[in-house]
Chains A and B, each alone.
Chain A
Amino acid sequence: MTTAPGARDDSGISEGKGGSEGALALNGVTRRFGDFTAVDNVSFEIGPGELLALVGASGSGKTTTLRIAAGYEIPDAGTVTLGGKDITRIPPERRGFGMVFQHYALFPHMPVEQNVAFGLEARGVNKVDRLVKARAALASVGLEGAGSRAIQSLSGGEQQRVALARAMVIEPKALLLDEPLSNLDPTLRQATRNDLRAMLRRVGVPALFVTHDQEDAFAIADRIALLKRGKLLQCGTPEELYHAPVSREVAAFIGRGSIIPAEDKGNVAAVTIGGVKRDLNVTRPKGASAKYDKAFVVMRPDALEIARGAGVLAWRGRVTNRRFAGGVVVYRVELSDGVVVDVESNSADAHEDDNVSVSPLKGPHPLVPA
Protein backbone atom coordinates (compact mmCIF):
# COMPACT_ATOMS: atom_id res chain seq x y z
CA MET A 1 0.00 0.00 0.00
CA THR A 2 2.67 2.49 0.92
CA THR A 3 4.67 4.09 -1.81
CA ALA A 4 8.40 3.69 -1.71
CA PRO A 5 9.99 7.01 -0.73
CA GLY A 6 11.68 7.48 -4.07
CA ALA A 7 8.68 6.57 -6.20
CA ARG A 8 7.17 10.03 -6.14
CA ASP A 9 10.30 11.88 -7.00
CA ASP A 10 11.63 9.80 -9.84
CA SER A 11 8.26 9.12 -11.40
CA GLY A 12 8.50 12.28 -13.47
CA ILE A 13 4.78 12.64 -12.98
CA SER A 14 4.90 16.35 -12.27
CA GLU A 15 7.01 17.19 -15.29
CA GLY A 16 4.14 16.82 -17.74
CA LYS A 17 6.46 15.99 -20.60
CA GLY A 18 4.02 13.53 -22.11
CA GLY A 19 5.57 10.25 -23.09
CA SER A 20 3.26 7.46 -24.07
CA GLU A 21 5.05 4.37 -22.90
CA GLY A 22 3.47 3.01 -19.77
CA ALA A 23 0.22 1.17 -19.31
CA LEU A 24 -2.29 2.22 -16.67
CA ALA A 25 -3.34 -0.64 -14.42
CA LEU A 26 -5.64 -1.17 -11.47
CA ASN A 27 -4.65 -4.16 -9.38
CA GLY A 28 -7.23 -5.62 -6.99
CA VAL A 29 -8.62 -2.21 -6.13
CA THR A 30 -11.27 -1.97 -3.40
CA ARG A 31 -13.00 1.13 -2.04
CA ARG A 32 -15.52 1.12 0.78
CA PHE A 33 -17.74 3.93 2.02
CA GLY A 34 -18.83 2.84 5.47
CA ASP A 35 -20.57 -0.51 5.06
CA PHE A 36 -21.00 0.00 1.34
CA THR A 37 -18.37 -1.47 -0.96
CA ALA A 38 -18.37 0.79 -4.00
CA VAL A 39 -15.51 -0.96 -5.80
CA ASP A 40 -14.76 -4.58 -5.01
CA ASN A 41 -11.41 -6.06 -6.01
CA VAL A 42 -11.31 -4.64 -9.53
CA SER A 43 -8.33 -5.23 -11.83
CA PHE A 44 -7.65 -4.28 -15.41
CA GLU A 45 -4.86 -2.87 -17.54
CA ILE A 46 -4.98 -0.34 -20.35
CA GLY A 47 -2.10 -0.21 -22.79
CA PRO A 48 -0.80 2.96 -24.50
CA GLY A 49 -3.26 4.09 -27.15
CA GLU A 50 -5.88 1.68 -25.94
CA LEU A 51 -9.42 2.78 -25.11
CA LEU A 52 -11.16 0.99 -22.29
CA ALA A 53 -14.80 1.69 -21.46
CA LEU A 54 -16.06 1.18 -17.93
CA VAL A 55 -19.68 0.22 -18.38
CA GLY A 56 -22.36 -0.35 -15.79
CA ALA A 57 -25.67 0.86 -14.48
CA SER A 58 -25.69 3.83 -12.12
CA GLY A 59 -24.33 2.85 -8.74
CA SER A 60 -22.18 0.10 -10.23
CA GLY A 61 -18.99 1.78 -9.03
CA LYS A 62 -17.70 2.91 -12.39
CA THR A 63 -17.25 6.55 -11.44
CA THR A 64 -15.50 5.61 -8.19
CA THR A 65 -13.19 3.35 -10.20
CA LEU A 66 -12.39 6.26 -12.52
CA ARG A 67 -11.79 8.55 -9.55
CA ILE A 68 -9.37 6.00 -8.09
CA ALA A 69 -7.51 5.92 -11.39
CA ALA A 70 -7.39 9.73 -11.37
CA GLY A 71 -6.24 9.95 -7.76
CA TYR A 72 -9.33 11.65 -6.32
CA GLU A 73 -10.01 8.55 -4.25
CA ILE A 74 -7.44 6.44 -2.50
CA PRO A 75 -8.41 2.75 -2.53
CA ASP A 76 -8.72 0.85 0.74
CA ALA A 77 -6.89 -2.04 -0.89
CA GLY A 78 -5.09 -2.63 -4.16
CA THR A 79 -2.81 -0.42 -6.22
CA VAL A 80 -2.84 1.81 -9.26
CA THR A 81 0.25 1.61 -11.45
CA LEU A 82 1.45 3.56 -14.44
CA GLY A 83 4.17 1.90 -16.51
CA GLY A 84 4.68 -0.49 -13.60
CA LYS A 85 5.23 2.29 -11.03
CA ASP A 86 2.93 2.46 -8.03
CA ILE A 87 1.04 5.77 -8.15
CA THR A 88 -1.77 4.81 -5.75
CA ARG A 89 -1.03 7.60 -3.32
CA ILE A 90 0.18 10.26 -5.70
CA PRO A 91 -2.35 13.12 -5.60
CA PRO A 92 -4.13 14.12 -8.82
CA GLU A 93 -2.12 17.32 -9.23
CA ARG A 94 1.07 15.29 -9.58
CA ARG A 95 -0.26 12.47 -11.75
CA GLY A 96 -0.32 14.43 -14.96
CA PHE A 97 -3.50 12.78 -16.20
CA GLY A 98 -6.06 14.53 -18.35
CA MET A 99 -9.59 14.28 -17.08
CA VAL A 100 -12.88 15.26 -18.68
CA PHE A 101 -15.65 15.58 -16.12
CA GLN A 102 -19.24 14.63 -16.71
CA HIS A 103 -20.45 18.23 -16.54
CA TYR A 104 -17.06 19.33 -17.91
CA ALA A 105 -16.16 21.42 -14.80
CA LEU A 106 -15.02 24.37 -16.89
CA PHE A 107 -14.04 27.36 -14.78
CA PRO A 108 -16.92 29.79 -15.23
CA HIS A 109 -14.82 32.85 -14.38
CA MET A 110 -12.22 32.29 -17.10
CA PRO A 111 -12.63 32.61 -20.86
CA VAL A 112 -12.13 29.51 -23.02
CA GLU A 113 -8.43 30.19 -23.61
CA GLN A 114 -7.57 30.51 -19.92
CA ASN A 115 -9.49 27.34 -19.18
CA VAL A 116 -7.46 25.42 -21.72
CA ALA A 117 -4.19 27.03 -20.61
CA PHE A 118 -4.82 26.42 -16.91
CA GLY A 119 -2.88 23.16 -16.74
CA LEU A 120 0.09 24.82 -18.49
CA GLU A 121 -0.13 27.75 -16.10
CA ALA A 122 0.08 25.27 -13.21
CA ARG A 123 3.21 23.83 -14.82
CA GLY A 124 4.84 27.23 -14.96
CA VAL A 125 4.75 27.54 -18.75
CA ASN A 126 5.20 31.19 -19.72
CA LYS A 127 2.25 33.20 -20.91
CA VAL A 128 3.12 33.33 -24.60
CA ASP A 129 3.86 29.63 -24.91
CA ARG A 130 0.75 28.59 -23.10
CA LEU A 131 -1.46 30.78 -25.25
CA VAL A 132 0.08 29.35 -28.40
CA LYS A 133 -0.43 25.81 -27.15
CA ALA A 134 -3.96 26.51 -25.94
CA ARG A 135 -4.90 27.92 -29.34
CA ALA A 136 -3.42 24.92 -31.07
CA ALA A 137 -5.36 22.60 -28.76
CA LEU A 138 -8.56 24.52 -29.47
CA ALA A 139 -7.90 24.26 -33.18
CA SER A 140 -7.40 20.51 -32.87
CA VAL A 141 -10.93 20.17 -31.47
CA GLY A 142 -12.35 22.46 -34.15
CA LEU A 143 -12.71 25.58 -32.03
CA GLU A 144 -10.30 27.99 -33.72
CA GLY A 145 -10.80 31.54 -32.62
CA ALA A 146 -13.07 30.69 -29.72
CA GLY A 147 -10.38 31.50 -27.17
CA SER A 148 -11.81 34.71 -25.83
CA ARG A 149 -15.37 33.49 -25.58
CA ALA A 150 -17.06 33.12 -22.20
CA ILE A 151 -17.85 29.60 -21.03
CA GLN A 152 -21.50 30.56 -20.63
CA SER A 153 -21.79 31.35 -24.32
CA LEU A 154 -20.77 27.86 -25.44
CA SER A 155 -23.15 25.11 -26.47
CA GLY A 156 -22.97 21.73 -24.76
CA GLY A 157 -20.95 20.24 -27.59
CA GLU A 158 -18.51 23.14 -27.58
CA GLN A 159 -18.08 22.87 -23.83
CA GLN A 160 -17.28 19.20 -24.22
CA ARG A 161 -14.61 19.99 -26.78
CA VAL A 162 -13.10 22.74 -24.61
CA ALA A 163 -12.93 20.24 -21.75
CA LEU A 164 -11.22 17.78 -24.06
CA ALA A 165 -8.74 20.40 -25.28
CA ARG A 166 -8.00 21.36 -21.68
CA ALA A 167 -7.29 17.75 -20.81
CA MET A 168 -5.12 17.11 -23.88
CA VAL A 169 -3.02 20.27 -23.92
CA ILE A 170 -1.04 19.14 -20.89
CA GLU A 171 0.18 16.11 -22.87
CA PRO A 172 -1.31 13.77 -20.30
CA LYS A 173 0.08 10.38 -19.39
CA ALA A 174 -3.44 8.99 -19.42
CA LEU A 175 -6.86 10.32 -20.34
CA LEU A 176 -9.86 9.77 -18.13
CA LEU A 177 -13.36 10.69 -19.23
CA ASP A 178 -16.50 10.60 -17.09
CA GLU A 179 -19.60 10.16 -19.26
CA PRO A 180 -18.13 12.44 -21.94
CA LEU A 181 -21.16 12.08 -24.20
CA SER A 182 -24.04 11.96 -21.76
CA ASN A 183 -24.77 15.68 -21.90
CA LEU A 184 -25.02 15.84 -25.68
CA ASP A 185 -28.21 15.49 -27.65
CA PRO A 186 -28.61 12.23 -29.63
CA THR A 187 -27.59 13.49 -33.09
CA LEU A 188 -24.53 15.31 -31.81
CA ARG A 189 -23.68 12.27 -29.77
CA GLN A 190 -23.49 10.01 -32.82
CA ALA A 191 -21.19 12.43 -34.62
CA THR A 192 -19.01 13.06 -31.58
CA ARG A 193 -18.34 9.36 -30.97
CA ASN A 194 -16.17 9.05 -34.05
CA ASP A 195 -14.35 12.34 -33.41
CA LEU A 196 -13.70 11.32 -29.84
CA ARG A 197 -12.33 7.94 -30.81
CA ALA A 198 -10.05 9.50 -33.42
CA MET A 199 -8.77 12.09 -30.96
CA LEU A 200 -8.13 9.63 -28.16
CA ARG A 201 -6.26 7.39 -30.58
CA ARG A 202 -4.10 10.26 -31.73
CA VAL A 203 -2.94 11.06 -28.19
CA GLY A 204 -1.62 7.53 -27.88
CA VAL A 205 -1.90 7.19 -24.11
CA PRO A 206 -4.10 4.84 -22.09
CA ALA A 207 -7.64 6.18 -22.12
CA LEU A 208 -10.34 5.17 -19.69
CA PHE A 209 -13.87 6.35 -20.05
CA VAL A 210 -17.00 5.78 -18.06
CA THR A 211 -20.38 5.36 -19.68
CA HIS A 212 -23.74 3.84 -18.88
CA ASP A 213 -24.50 3.64 -22.59
CA GLN A 214 -23.26 0.42 -24.20
CA GLU A 215 -23.68 1.85 -27.67
CA ASP A 216 -21.14 4.55 -26.81
CA ALA A 217 -18.88 1.86 -25.43
CA PHE A 218 -19.24 -0.32 -28.55
CA ALA A 219 -18.58 2.64 -30.83
CA ILE A 220 -15.52 3.99 -29.06
CA ALA A 221 -13.80 1.37 -26.94
CA ASP A 222 -11.22 -1.26 -27.82
CA ARG A 223 -12.20 -3.15 -24.72
CA ILE A 224 -15.06 -2.96 -22.28
CA ALA A 225 -15.00 -3.58 -18.54
CA LEU A 226 -18.48 -4.34 -17.24
CA LEU A 227 -19.14 -3.48 -13.59
CA LYS A 228 -22.04 -4.45 -11.40
CA ARG A 229 -22.33 -3.59 -7.70
CA GLY A 230 -18.64 -2.79 -7.60
CA LYS A 231 -17.53 -6.08 -9.08
CA LEU A 232 -15.90 -6.52 -12.45
CA LEU A 233 -18.11 -9.00 -14.31
CA GLN A 234 -16.12 -9.24 -17.52
CA CYS A 235 -13.41 -7.37 -19.34
CA GLY A 236 -12.88 -7.94 -23.02
CA THR A 237 -13.45 -6.69 -26.54
CA PRO A 238 -16.98 -5.62 -27.43
CA GLU A 239 -17.25 -8.77 -29.60
CA GLU A 240 -16.23 -10.99 -26.70
CA LEU A 241 -18.81 -9.46 -24.40
CA TYR A 242 -21.49 -9.72 -27.05
CA HIS A 243 -20.76 -13.16 -28.40
CA ALA A 244 -19.21 -14.87 -25.40
CA PRO A 245 -20.60 -13.35 -22.18
CA VAL A 246 -19.32 -15.09 -19.07
CA SER A 247 -22.58 -14.93 -17.16
CA ARG A 248 -26.30 -14.28 -17.39
CA GLU A 249 -25.71 -10.83 -15.93
CA VAL A 250 -23.31 -9.88 -18.70
CA ALA A 251 -25.61 -11.35 -21.34
CA ALA A 252 -28.54 -9.43 -19.95
CA PHE A 253 -26.66 -6.13 -19.90
CA ILE A 254 -24.81 -6.33 -23.20
CA GLY A 255 -26.89 -6.28 -26.35
CA ARG A 256 -30.49 -7.34 -26.55
CA GLY A 257 -31.76 -10.86 -26.40
CA SER A 258 -33.73 -13.39 -24.40
CA ILE A 259 -32.08 -15.71 -21.97
CA ILE A 260 -33.64 -19.15 -22.26
CA PRO A 261 -32.91 -22.29 -20.20
CA ALA A 262 -30.98 -24.90 -22.16
CA GLU A 263 -29.60 -28.37 -21.69
CA ASP A 264 -25.83 -28.30 -22.15
CA LYS A 265 -24.62 -31.26 -24.21
CA GLY A 266 -21.04 -30.09 -24.65
CA ASN A 267 -20.71 -29.01 -28.29
CA VAL A 268 -24.40 -28.19 -28.61
CA ALA A 269 -27.21 -27.13 -26.30
CA ALA A 270 -30.80 -28.27 -26.54
CA VAL A 271 -33.68 -25.78 -26.12
CA THR A 272 -37.24 -27.08 -25.79
CA ILE A 273 -40.17 -24.69 -26.21
CA GLY A 274 -43.76 -25.94 -26.49
CA GLY A 275 -42.55 -29.50 -26.94
CA VAL A 276 -40.33 -28.60 -29.89
CA LYS A 277 -36.69 -29.37 -29.08
CA ARG A 278 -33.86 -27.83 -31.09
CA ASP A 279 -30.11 -28.43 -30.78
CA LEU A 280 -28.12 -25.18 -31.10
CA ASN A 281 -24.44 -24.52 -31.86
CA VAL A 282 -23.04 -22.62 -28.89
CA THR A 283 -19.96 -20.61 -27.91
CA ARG A 284 -18.66 -20.23 -24.43
CA PRO A 285 -16.06 -17.77 -23.14
CA LYS A 286 -12.38 -18.69 -23.15
CA GLY A 287 -11.45 -20.82 -20.18
CA ALA A 288 -15.01 -21.72 -19.27
CA SER A 289 -15.80 -25.29 -18.24
CA ALA A 290 -16.62 -27.60 -21.13
CA LYS A 291 -20.05 -28.40 -19.81
CA TYR A 292 -22.35 -26.51 -17.45
CA ASP A 293 -24.69 -28.28 -15.01
CA LYS A 294 -27.36 -25.71 -15.67
CA ALA A 295 -27.12 -23.44 -18.64
CA PHE A 296 -28.89 -20.67 -20.52
CA VAL A 297 -28.64 -19.79 -24.15
CA VAL A 298 -28.73 -16.15 -25.22
CA MET A 299 -31.09 -15.70 -28.16
CA ARG A 300 -30.10 -12.47 -29.93
CA PRO A 301 -32.80 -10.91 -32.16
CA ASP A 302 -30.48 -11.20 -35.17
CA ALA A 303 -29.93 -14.93 -34.54
CA LEU A 304 -33.57 -15.89 -35.05
CA GLU A 305 -35.83 -15.99 -38.07
CA ILE A 306 -39.55 -15.61 -38.30
CA ALA A 307 -42.19 -17.01 -40.70
CA ARG A 308 -45.95 -16.67 -40.88
CA GLY A 309 -48.01 -19.72 -39.97
CA ALA A 310 -46.82 -22.95 -38.43
CA GLY A 311 -43.46 -24.29 -39.60
CA VAL A 312 -42.02 -27.73 -39.19
CA LEU A 313 -39.64 -28.04 -36.23
CA ALA A 314 -40.16 -24.35 -35.43
CA TRP A 315 -41.28 -22.80 -32.18
CA ARG A 316 -44.83 -21.44 -32.41
CA GLY A 317 -45.99 -18.13 -31.10
CA ARG A 318 -47.95 -14.93 -31.59
CA VAL A 319 -46.69 -11.47 -32.47
CA THR A 320 -47.45 -9.07 -29.61
CA ASN A 321 -45.55 -6.07 -30.93
CA ARG A 322 -44.12 -4.99 -34.23
CA ARG A 323 -41.62 -2.17 -34.50
CA PHE A 324 -40.12 -0.76 -37.68
CA ALA A 325 -36.42 -0.05 -37.08
CA GLY A 326 -35.11 1.25 -40.37
CA GLY A 327 -33.69 -1.56 -42.43
CA VAL A 328 -35.32 -4.25 -40.34
CA VAL A 329 -38.52 -4.96 -38.47
CA VAL A 330 -38.32 -6.10 -34.87
CA TYR A 331 -41.08 -8.46 -33.79
CA ARG A 332 -41.81 -9.32 -30.21
CA VAL A 333 -43.12 -12.87 -30.18
CA GLU A 334 -44.76 -14.68 -27.30
CA LEU A 335 -43.85 -18.35 -27.66
CA SER A 336 -45.38 -21.25 -25.76
CA ASP A 337 -44.40 -21.80 -22.12
CA GLY A 338 -44.38 -18.02 -21.59
CA VAL A 339 -41.04 -17.49 -23.39
CA VAL A 340 -40.79 -14.07 -25.07
CA VAL A 341 -38.22 -13.34 -27.79
CA ASP A 342 -37.43 -10.42 -30.09
CA VAL A 343 -36.79 -11.30 -33.70
CA GLU A 344 -35.14 -9.02 -36.26
CA SER A 345 -36.31 -9.68 -39.77
CA ASN A 346 -35.98 -8.21 -43.25
CA SER A 347 -39.53 -9.23 -43.96
CA ALA A 348 -42.33 -6.94 -42.93
CA ASP A 349 -45.06 -9.52 -43.66
CA ALA A 350 -46.14 -10.41 -40.12
CA HIS A 351 -48.41 -8.17 -38.10
CA GLU A 352 -49.55 -7.92 -34.51
CA ASP A 353 -51.68 -10.89 -33.36
CA ASP A 354 -50.45 -13.04 -36.29
CA ASN A 355 -49.52 -16.63 -35.49
CA VAL A 356 -45.90 -17.17 -36.47
CA SER A 357 -43.13 -19.71 -36.20
CA VAL A 358 -39.65 -18.82 -34.96
CA SER A 359 -36.50 -20.80 -35.64
CA PRO A 360 -32.93 -20.27 -34.51
CA LEU A 361 -30.30 -19.52 -37.13
CA LYS A 362 -27.13 -21.55 -37.39
CA GLY A 363 -25.40 -19.59 -34.68
CA PRO A 364 -23.25 -20.10 -32.75
CA HIS A 365 -25.34 -18.76 -29.87
CA PRO A 366 -23.77 -17.61 -26.56
CA LEU A 367 -24.16 -20.11 -23.75
CA VAL A 368 -23.88 -18.97 -20.13
CA PRO A 369 -23.91 -20.90 -16.86
CA ALA A 370 -26.83 -20.52 -14.50
Chain B
Amino acid sequence: MMKKVRLIARLDIKAPNLIKGINLEGVRVVGDPHAFAKRYFQQGIDEILYMDSVATLYGRNNLTELVSKTANDIFVPMTVGGGLRSLADVDDVMRAGADKVSINSAAIRRPELLREVAMRYGSQAMVLSVEAKRRGDHWEAYIDNGREKTGLDAIAWIRQAVDMGAGEILVTAVDKEGMRKGFDVELMRKVTEAVDVPVIASGGMGSLQDAADVILNGGADAVAMAHVLHFNNITLADLRSYLGDRQIEVTNHGDIASV
Protein backbone atom coordinates (compact mmCIF):
# COMPACT_ATOMS: atom_id res chain seq x y z
CA MET B 1 0.00 0.00 0.00
CA MET B 2 1.28 3.48 -0.85
CA LYS B 3 2.15 5.65 2.13
CA LYS B 4 -0.38 8.44 2.45
CA VAL B 5 0.70 11.78 3.93
CA ARG B 6 -0.75 15.16 4.77
CA LEU B 7 0.93 18.45 3.96
CA ILE B 8 0.59 21.10 6.66
CA ALA B 9 1.47 24.79 6.59
CA ARG B 10 2.84 25.87 9.96
CA LEU B 11 2.41 29.54 10.76
CA ASP B 12 4.17 30.82 13.89
CA ILE B 13 2.50 33.97 15.11
CA LYS B 14 3.57 36.88 17.22
CA ALA B 15 0.32 38.79 17.08
CA PRO B 16 -0.54 40.29 14.71
CA ASN B 17 2.31 39.04 12.53
CA LEU B 18 3.42 35.82 10.90
CA ILE B 19 7.01 35.34 12.00
CA LYS B 20 9.83 32.92 11.33
CA GLY B 21 12.75 32.16 13.59
CA ILE B 22 15.68 29.80 13.88
CA ASN B 23 15.67 27.07 16.55
CA LEU B 24 12.31 28.55 17.56
CA GLU B 25 14.08 31.79 18.47
CA GLY B 26 15.01 35.01 16.70
CA VAL B 27 12.04 36.70 15.20
CA ARG B 28 11.68 37.87 11.65
CA VAL B 29 8.35 39.36 10.60
CA VAL B 30 7.06 37.68 7.45
CA GLY B 31 3.63 39.26 6.96
CA ASP B 32 -0.10 38.93 7.55
CA PRO B 33 -0.81 35.35 8.70
CA HIS B 34 -4.34 35.31 7.30
CA ALA B 35 -3.12 36.28 3.84
CA PHE B 36 -0.49 33.54 3.93
CA ALA B 37 -2.96 30.92 5.19
CA LYS B 38 -5.36 31.88 2.42
CA ARG B 39 -2.64 31.53 -0.19
CA TYR B 40 -1.79 28.04 1.08
CA PHE B 41 -5.47 27.04 1.02
CA GLN B 42 -5.74 28.21 -2.59
CA GLN B 43 -2.63 26.20 -3.46
CA GLY B 44 -4.22 23.06 -2.00
CA ILE B 45 -2.74 22.67 1.50
CA ASP B 46 -4.27 19.82 3.57
CA GLU B 47 -4.21 21.56 6.95
CA ILE B 48 -3.25 24.83 8.62
CA LEU B 49 -1.35 25.02 11.91
CA TYR B 50 -1.26 28.28 13.84
CA MET B 51 1.21 28.49 16.69
CA ASP B 52 1.17 31.47 19.03
CA SER B 53 4.90 31.69 19.70
CA VAL B 54 4.84 34.16 22.56
CA ALA B 55 1.61 33.07 24.24
CA THR B 56 3.19 30.89 26.90
CA LEU B 57 5.44 33.74 28.00
CA TYR B 58 2.53 36.14 28.29
CA GLY B 59 0.27 33.47 29.71
CA ARG B 60 -2.46 33.46 27.11
CA ASN B 61 -3.25 32.61 23.53
CA ASN B 62 -4.00 35.65 21.41
CA LEU B 63 -5.17 33.91 18.31
CA THR B 64 -8.95 33.67 18.66
CA GLU B 65 -9.58 36.65 16.39
CA LEU B 66 -7.23 35.30 13.72
CA VAL B 67 -8.75 31.81 14.05
CA SER B 68 -12.24 33.16 13.61
CA LYS B 69 -11.25 35.20 10.56
CA THR B 70 -9.45 32.21 9.05
CA ALA B 71 -12.45 29.92 9.56
CA ASN B 72 -14.50 32.28 7.40
CA ASP B 73 -12.62 31.61 4.20
CA ILE B 74 -10.31 28.62 4.70
CA PHE B 75 -12.05 25.28 4.52
CA VAL B 76 -9.48 22.72 5.64
CA PRO B 77 -8.76 21.46 9.17
CA MET B 78 -7.12 24.07 11.39
CA THR B 79 -4.99 23.30 14.44
CA VAL B 80 -4.25 26.02 16.98
CA GLY B 81 -1.56 25.93 19.64
CA GLY B 82 0.57 28.08 21.92
CA GLY B 83 -0.31 29.14 25.44
CA LEU B 84 -3.41 26.98 25.87
CA ARG B 85 -3.42 26.26 29.62
CA SER B 86 -6.87 25.01 30.48
CA LEU B 87 -10.00 23.45 29.09
CA ALA B 88 -11.51 26.96 29.04
CA ASP B 89 -8.66 28.18 26.78
CA VAL B 90 -9.29 25.20 24.50
CA ASP B 91 -13.04 26.00 24.42
CA ASP B 92 -12.22 29.55 23.27
CA VAL B 93 -10.19 28.54 20.22
CA MET B 94 -12.51 25.66 19.32
CA ARG B 95 -15.49 28.01 19.45
CA ALA B 96 -13.58 30.45 17.24
CA GLY B 97 -13.35 27.73 14.57
CA ALA B 98 -10.33 25.53 15.34
CA ASP B 99 -10.71 21.79 14.67
CA LYS B 100 -7.83 20.64 16.87
CA VAL B 101 -5.61 22.10 19.54
CA SER B 102 -1.91 21.58 20.02
CA ILE B 103 -0.60 21.62 23.60
CA ASN B 104 2.94 21.35 24.97
CA SER B 105 3.85 23.24 28.16
CA ALA B 106 0.48 22.95 29.90
CA ALA B 107 0.36 19.19 29.28
CA ILE B 108 3.80 18.71 30.81
CA ARG B 109 2.81 20.77 33.85
CA ARG B 110 -0.54 18.94 34.17
CA PRO B 111 -0.89 15.82 31.97
CA GLU B 112 -4.53 15.41 33.04
CA LEU B 113 -5.36 18.26 30.63
CA LEU B 114 -4.80 15.83 27.73
CA ARG B 115 -7.53 13.56 29.07
CA GLU B 116 -9.90 16.46 29.66
CA VAL B 117 -9.54 17.77 26.11
CA ALA B 118 -9.85 14.26 24.62
CA MET B 119 -13.00 13.60 26.65
CA ARG B 120 -14.66 16.79 25.48
CA TYR B 121 -13.55 16.95 21.84
CA GLY B 122 -12.26 13.47 21.03
CA SER B 123 -8.64 12.36 20.93
CA GLN B 124 -8.40 13.33 17.23
CA ALA B 125 -8.67 16.97 18.37
CA MET B 126 -5.91 16.66 21.00
CA VAL B 127 -2.52 17.13 19.35
CA LEU B 128 0.44 16.81 21.69
CA SER B 129 3.19 19.23 20.70
CA VAL B 130 6.68 18.12 21.64
CA GLU B 131 9.77 20.31 21.33
CA ALA B 132 12.71 17.94 21.44
CA LYS B 133 16.43 18.64 21.73
CA ARG B 134 19.05 15.96 21.20
CA ARG B 135 21.07 15.03 24.30
CA GLY B 136 23.65 12.48 23.20
CA ASP B 137 21.72 9.31 22.36
CA HIS B 138 18.32 10.54 23.49
CA TRP B 139 16.01 13.55 23.19
CA GLU B 140 14.78 15.82 25.95
CA ALA B 141 11.38 17.52 25.92
CA TYR B 142 11.46 21.32 26.17
CA ILE B 143 8.73 23.83 26.96
CA ASP B 144 8.11 27.54 26.46
CA ASN B 145 9.07 27.44 22.80
CA GLY B 146 12.31 25.53 23.26
CA ARG B 147 13.53 27.79 26.06
CA GLU B 148 13.13 25.64 29.12
CA LYS B 149 14.24 22.06 29.74
CA THR B 150 12.04 19.60 31.57
CA GLY B 151 14.34 16.65 32.21
CA LEU B 152 11.75 14.42 30.55
CA ASP B 153 12.79 11.90 27.93
CA ALA B 154 10.81 12.95 24.86
CA ILE B 155 9.92 9.39 23.75
CA ALA B 156 8.79 8.29 27.22
CA TRP B 157 6.69 11.45 27.55
CA ILE B 158 5.06 10.88 24.14
CA ARG B 159 4.12 7.30 25.14
CA GLN B 160 2.57 8.54 28.37
CA ALA B 161 0.70 11.35 26.58
CA VAL B 162 -0.85 8.94 24.07
CA ASP B 163 -2.07 6.80 26.97
CA MET B 164 -3.63 9.95 28.44
CA GLY B 165 -5.56 10.76 25.26
CA ALA B 166 -3.30 12.56 22.76
CA GLY B 167 -4.52 11.50 19.31
CA GLU B 168 -1.74 12.99 17.24
CA ILE B 169 1.84 14.13 17.89
CA LEU B 170 3.52 17.23 16.49
CA VAL B 171 7.26 16.70 16.85
CA THR B 172 9.46 19.75 16.47
CA ALA B 173 13.17 19.08 16.46
CA VAL B 174 14.39 22.31 18.06
CA ASP B 175 17.99 21.85 16.86
CA LYS B 176 16.82 21.59 13.26
CA GLU B 177 14.07 24.20 13.33
CA GLY B 178 14.59 27.08 10.89
CA MET B 179 17.91 25.62 9.64
CA ARG B 180 16.49 24.28 6.38
CA LYS B 181 18.96 21.38 6.43
CA GLY B 182 16.45 18.57 6.83
CA PHE B 183 14.30 17.03 9.57
CA ASP B 184 15.61 14.98 12.48
CA VAL B 185 14.82 11.67 10.79
CA GLU B 186 16.22 9.56 13.61
CA LEU B 187 14.01 11.28 16.19
CA MET B 188 11.00 10.84 13.93
CA ARG B 189 11.71 7.14 13.50
CA LYS B 190 11.95 6.71 17.28
CA VAL B 191 8.59 8.45 17.76
CA THR B 192 6.73 6.67 14.95
CA GLU B 193 7.99 3.32 16.26
CA ALA B 194 6.92 4.17 19.81
CA VAL B 195 3.25 5.09 19.19
CA ASP B 196 0.36 4.16 16.88
CA VAL B 197 -1.16 7.63 16.49
CA PRO B 198 -0.32 9.89 13.52
CA VAL B 199 2.93 11.86 13.83
CA ILE B 200 3.66 15.23 12.22
CA ALA B 201 7.29 16.07 11.45
CA SER B 202 8.19 19.70 12.02
CA GLY B 203 11.42 21.66 11.91
CA GLY B 204 14.11 21.73 9.27
CA MET B 205 12.54 21.30 5.87
CA GLY B 206 14.71 22.92 3.21
CA SER B 207 14.15 20.83 0.11
CA LEU B 208 11.72 18.44 -1.56
CA GLN B 209 14.07 15.61 -0.70
CA ASP B 210 13.87 16.42 3.03
CA ALA B 211 10.13 15.73 2.96
CA ALA B 212 10.52 12.38 1.17
CA ASP B 213 13.31 11.44 3.59
CA VAL B 214 11.30 12.03 6.78
CA ILE B 215 8.28 10.22 5.32
CA LEU B 216 10.09 7.18 3.93
CA ASN B 217 12.85 6.86 6.56
CA GLY B 218 11.26 8.55 9.57
CA GLY B 219 7.74 7.17 9.12
CA ALA B 220 6.09 10.63 9.31
CA ASP B 221 2.34 10.70 8.61
CA ALA B 222 2.36 14.43 7.92
CA VAL B 223 4.91 17.11 7.17
CA ALA B 224 4.74 20.64 8.59
CA MET B 225 6.41 23.34 6.55
CA ALA B 226 7.14 26.95 7.38
CA HIS B 227 10.17 28.73 5.88
CA VAL B 228 10.12 26.92 2.54
CA LEU B 229 6.51 27.97 1.98
CA HIS B 230 6.63 31.46 3.47
CA PHE B 231 9.62 32.45 1.33
CA ASN B 232 8.46 30.60 -1.78
CA ASN B 233 11.43 28.25 -1.84
CA ILE B 234 9.18 25.44 -2.95
CA THR B 235 5.60 25.22 -4.18
CA LEU B 236 2.99 22.72 -3.05
CA ALA B 237 2.50 21.67 -6.66
CA ASP B 238 6.19 20.77 -6.96
CA LEU B 239 6.13 18.94 -3.63
CA ARG B 240 3.04 16.92 -4.59
CA SER B 241 4.54 15.81 -7.86
CA TYR B 242 7.94 15.02 -6.27
CA LEU B 243 6.36 12.87 -3.56
CA GLY B 244 3.97 11.24 -6.01
CA ASP B 245 6.95 10.11 -8.11
CA ARG B 246 8.33 8.39 -5.00
CA GLN B 247 5.24 6.29 -4.28
CA ILE B 248 4.01 8.66 -1.58
CA GLU B 249 0.30 9.41 -1.87
CA VAL B 250 -0.66 13.07 -1.51
CA THR B 251 -4.02 14.73 -1.93
CA ASN B 252 -5.11 16.72 -4.94
CA HIS B 253 -7.97 18.97 -3.96
CA GLY B 254 -9.23 19.67 -7.45
CA ASP B 255 -9.85 22.97 -9.08
CA ILE B 256 -10.60 26.13 -7.13
CA ALA B 257 -12.61 27.28 -10.15
CA SER B 258 -15.17 24.60 -9.27
CA VAL B 259 -16.33 26.77 -6.38
Decide whether A and B assemble into one complex: no
Report B's interface with A, CB cutoff 8 A. Answer: none
